Copies of this chain bind each other. A is one copy, B any other.
Amino acid sequence: MAEINQLTEEIIAILAQKGVIALDNEYLPVGISNRHIHLSQADLETCFGKGYQLTVLKELSQPGQFAAKETVTIVGAKGAIEKVRVLGPVRSRSQVEVFASDNYKLGIKAPLKISGDLDGAAPITIVGTQGSVHLEEAAIVAKRHIHMLPSDAERFGVKHGDSVKIKVFGERGGIYNNVIIRVSDKSRLDLHIDMEEANAMGVDENSKIIIVKHDNEGGTNG
């Protein structure tokens, strides 16, 4: 049965690619997030020195966003994780995005939150080359989300803040509930999940993933 399901999925994908059949939805580009940190200019200067500016290592999929050369060590009550990548540009408030498993390593309780919503985020200490800063509300596990332009939102029939399901094809596939729609005219269509979410469903940059808006997803009661 598993083999037949997989074969069916692959045939459908090929037929859709060749234009023989149309899909309700298009495949989503996917970005897989490692743990990372966004810093405020003030916290950046505390950690790296007065007047410090981030250095671009690599542009990211969202316009203007970049992975910086700088990394920090993040420290909780029970442990530390080194070489956590800083993403730029600086933000109004520092935010640390960790994996659910990092909560055990660090001894913190970072809650599942949408990026930017730091009410109730966990305390964490950030250490750079020149200093460190302890933040009372900064660490979260980021909710999976899809960045898109207003034109994408119109095409998909969704709006900013909506929660949708996504379906991942493939041998380790399945459905993730509660994927948050983020609409901005400064964005580019991209599904963001973290490495644990990617690994759990065998997702890589070539994975076939679609938005599943409707709610009849086969639970007997939910």
Contacts and interface: CB of A to CB of B under 8 A. Distances in A.
B210 A219 contact: yes
Specify which of A210, A214, A217 lies most central, judged by the most chain B CB atoms within 10 Å of its CB: A217
Interface string A141-185: 001000000000000000000110101010111111110100000
A212 B216 contact: no
Copies of chain A in the complex: 2
A23 interface: yes
Nearest to A194: B200
A178 B222 contact: no
A218 interface: yes
Interface of A: 1-2, 5, 8-9, 12, 16, 23-25, 99-101, 112, 143, 162-163, 165, 167, 169, 171-178, 180, 195-197, 199-202, 210, 212, 214-222
